[in-house]
């Protein structure tokens, strides 16, 4: 099972298509780098993955995790006399779930009910963590990122291809919202499309 699976993802703003039929599969524990020039659609892709934006088409699947609604439902269950029954699935406790929705609505959080909670993350998304840093600061951040245990999958987007090449095991190149090259560092660096995008050759 992939830690992150993106299938046929598309997003447009008005007549401008920013993400076009993007497919991406990141394996558990993988270090994936997503690169591309300004305007390639990298940040829009991340915003689609995190749920900040809704796709026009396609789907995003992450490792299953706890949502705000489930967390509140569990809290209400813990306060009730019924207690947890291992033979009854929590998602079939209609009355309890309805109370959880009411609780979230009372504090103005019902629109975030399906948002995953950042408890013990299994997938870490980094959006240009080296931007604006000095050479020494970049080295420190890279050291910090590479020290993260392998049970956490890391997907990083970066504008500057040279910055995080040592970090990546696989690289995806976006250009005008499309995946144009994907592979190992050596494969991506040697690919003619990468050279065309970055060097204008």
Q: What is the pLDDT of residue 82?
A: 60
Written in H, E and C, the secondary structure of 134-191 is: CHHHHHHHHHHHHCCCCCCEEEEEECCCCCCCCCCCEEEEEECCEEEEEECHHHHHHC
Three-class SS state of 89: coil
Q: What is the pLDDT of residue 63?
A: 65
Does the pTM exceed 0.75? no
* Class of 4-63+121-199 in CATH: alpha beta
Per-residue pLDDT reduced to its tens digit, 50-71: 888 999 999 988 865 667 787 7
Tokens of 155: 């997907």
Three-class SS state of 194: helix
Q: How many Å apart are CA 176 and CA 186, to the nearest integer? A: 23
Residues of the chain with CATH 3.40.50.300: 4-63+121-199
Q: How many Å apart are CA 150 and CA 156, to the nearest integer? A: 15
């Amino acid at each position: 099972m992939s830690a992150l699976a993106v299938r046929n993802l598309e997003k447009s703003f008005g007549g401008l298509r920013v993400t076009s039929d993007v497919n991406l599969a990141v394996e558990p524990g993988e270090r994936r780098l997503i690169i591309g020039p300004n305007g390639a659609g990298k940040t829009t892709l991340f915003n689609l993955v995190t749920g900040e934006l809704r796709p026009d088409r396609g789907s995003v699947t992450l490792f299953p995790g706890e949502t705000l609604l489930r967390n509140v439902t569990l809290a209400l269950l813990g306060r009730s006399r019924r207690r947890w029954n291992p033979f009854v699935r929590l998602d079939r406790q209609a009355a309890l779930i309805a109370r959880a929705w009411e609780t979230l609505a009372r504090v103005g959080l019902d629109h975030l009910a399906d948002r995953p909670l950042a408890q013990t993350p299994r997938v870490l998304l980094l959006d240009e963590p080296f931007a604006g840093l000095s050479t020494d600061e970049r080295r420190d951040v890279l050291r910090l990122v590479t020290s993260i245990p392998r049970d956490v999958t890391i997907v990083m987007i970066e504008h500057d291809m040279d910055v995080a090449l040592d970090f990546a095991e696989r690289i995806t190149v976006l250009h005008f919202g499309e995946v144009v090259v994907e592979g190992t560092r050596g494969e991506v660096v040697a690919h003619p499309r990468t050279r065309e995008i970055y060097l204008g050759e």
